[in-house]
Structure 1
Amino acid sequence: MRILTILHDLSAGGSERVALQLAAEWRNLGLQSELLLVSSNGKAEVPPELPVRRLPRDVPRSLTSRFCVAASLRAAVREAAPDIVFLPGNWHFALARGIARVRPRPVIVAKLSNPPLPSLVPGTGPLAVRALRALLKPVDVLAFWPEALGPDLARLLPDLRLEPIPNPPIRVEKRPRRPRPASRRRHLLIAGRLVPQKNVALALEAFAIALGNRDLDLTIAGDGPDRPALENRIARLGLGGRVTMLGHVANLGPALDAADLLLLSSRYEGTPAVVFEALAAGVPVVSTACAPILPHLLDRPGRGRVVSEDTPSALAQAILAQLAEPDEVGDVRDLLAPHAPDAVARRYVDLFTALLAAPGRRAAE
């Protein structure tokens, strides 16, 4: 079985991390798994065992870049001759139409990485639904998680096969945390790309309010186009001595070991890997209601809180309430087990095998 995973670039976001990990796992399972890059931009590291193909011309990510590479992308897919093309997130849905024109046609499996219709532009509901259905029409299967999204997705995409597969694949082990004096300064952590979706400005405003009631520090692990604006906001809020910006961090472990709380202020998320990593490290989470899986993960006060109101004051109140709780994240092995990389990779392989064996499959068109 030949699997070709397409990534627009190596941005160190969740979709990219998941795609690279899955592609490497498929390789480790003995399959012919390769990566096709539209652009080499970004800091995510490609696993050394994973072969990489590139388009003849590097096309950096932009609002139109996905539509500008159709011809060269078709040629690259035709040359790779995959049985399966894997599109690892919403950003890549626009590539499906061009790939479907390749002959022989590969099976196209896409993965939902964020809510299919984040409410970012008021009044565009019906138009957005039609656009989403058009983008996904060439796709054979859409993988999604959590499973509870199934009924809503079925109503939204009635003609598309849907497959619940745990996301993200994550290899972390629960490790005990050392006891910490209650009187010491408490440390908050934000981890993610500095882009509008993550809404770090909201987190900074909330931190400034919480700082008036507790002795706190904040570390931001991540980089992106919003960094200059966030640095200016930190200065305006007078937080220069309390906020540390680490930039891109390849290994989040040391930052989690130093943290008392992970703060997630996103406008929307799919299944945020960083929450799993925090819980595995014994770090509770305070988050906006940005992902449907969060109430399942933060199911008791010791693990964290989901804030329904996206305001600095509500987020600050949740931060202070969580810091008043004892460190009781507890045993999260049952939460993590379905997300083990080998287990998730095999779920996809089972799906790929069934699709390729199906009589009259669309790939034979």
Structure 2
Amino acid sequence: MPLTETLELSILMPCLNEAETLAVCIDKAQAYLERSGICGEVLIADNGSTDGSQEIAAAHGARVVAVADKGYGSALIGGIAAAQGTYVIMGDADDSYDFSDLDGFMERLRAGDELVMGNRFLGGIEPGAMPPLHKYLGNPVLSWIGRVLFRSPIKDFHCGLRGFNRRSMLALHLQTTGMEFASEMVVKSTLGGSRVSEVPTTLSKDGRSRPPHLRSWHDGWRHLRFLLIFSPRWLFLIPGTLAFGIGMIGSVLLSAGPIVVGPVGFYSSSQIYLAALAVVGYQAVLFAILTKIYAQHEGFQIPRSRNFDRLQKKISLESGAIIGALLFILGLGIAIAQLAGWAASGYGALEADAAIRGAVLAALLMMLGAQTVMAGLFLGVLSVGLKRV
């Protein structure tokens, strides 16, 4: 079909040495286009096959685009860029997905949904098609984490069969090159306010004689890492706030003297650990705030928060410097008072526990002050206007 003709659908398959199953997948996709009367194409994003997959694809009427950069995500990014259709339905070329039954995807895409995910748990998983580790642990847990962190409606984050509006997907500027590309597509679509839905789909045992490219633990960790890093609120802000609150309150209370609760006593040694917890927690909170400000400054699509927007208007280099300086001066004042008390006693021996309690509180306040000043300075760097080329 001439590329100048307007196409409604591109059926995209990433390919790396799929000679055993590629032909049957292409034939099913071509049969669907013919049966449904959709003006479309079958597009193979080849990632450097050495088994003749390119020739097989061309012989069965598919268009082949070579993608030099290695990785599942790279192949799909290249394929999406080269696709001619208004809509794209992508799926693995291992004959595990049925390309002859795509009506559910097209119905939702034509209705205006911008990402339509297949759900294998709703449609049916053939015995032996998915390893038990993936079926009962990996996919359910990672999908649950994705729904919690990003309030996504998707219950099968990693289904390889999915359709989307090509223009909407290109606007998300997808970047990941590996298997975590599957999560990035769902997360950015959800955060960007795209219309997202699911349709039941089936999963069959693939037709390859070789092992799949997927590496369970390695790729599972990459998915989890992406989900966590893309959600600084849950990775840094909430744990950091809890750590800072516990550490700060505990350190201040113990600076007045030991606390005994039943058989358990908390003394200056406990205060030292609590102060360290407060510092680490405060650093995590600052990192979460600065990360979100940076993301908004760079135009990343992240959920907006009225509370955060109000906070952002109040914080600046100047306010950070003032608050940080006050905290530092307060800590320094405690240290000077301790030094004056020691001088008044003739620089003699001090009561160790009391001296440590005051010193820990003074050091904690000075560290928090210094951190606040440096965070304010970094915020000033972020706020510098730059000309975008």
- Which of the five TM-score ranges fits, normalised by the shorter chain? under 0.3
TM-score w.r.t. length of structure 2 = 0.26
**Higher relative contact order (CA closer than 8 Å, sequence separation 6+):** 1
Which structure has greater strand proportion? Answer: 1
Which structure has greater helix proportion? Answer: 2
TM-score w.r.t. length of structure 1 = 0.28
